[in-house]
Structure 1
């Protein structure tokens, strides 16, 4: 997923959040429609989080690389395992 796709997904999250809040204000938090919007928002947020959390795992499954998006640097959590897998 490229940056443009991520921005579109963020826009969709913001729109769905507004729809959910409007529904909650108008119909209540336990309204079926509000709950449906909340579940749809959850799905969008999970999709965004997955898109922002790329992983790489070698065939033997010995290590993962995670990207720390807060400061934009890659963290190697299993350096020894990767070195031994190569």
Structure 2
């Protein structure tokens, strides 16, 4: 499988996980790494590095970073 297909698959996975955090973060009773936005920021950072100069992937990663920031702000009461 090409690196681009792998990156797209990872983006789909991360996008779904962020969607769960946005809509059901109260359902995560136990604190775990996957319920922490920092975990997903690390994965997005790795993906950004791997995707290099691909503009389409970069735009998608940036959009997901923004969504994570909104989740974090909501948790902090901002």
Q: What TM-score do the two structures reach when normalised by structure 1? A: 0.44
Structure with the greater alpha carbon radius of gyration: 1
Give the helix-richer structure, 1 or 2: 2
Give the strand-richer structure, 1 or 2: 1
Q: What TM-score do the two structures reach when normalised by structure 2? A: 0.47
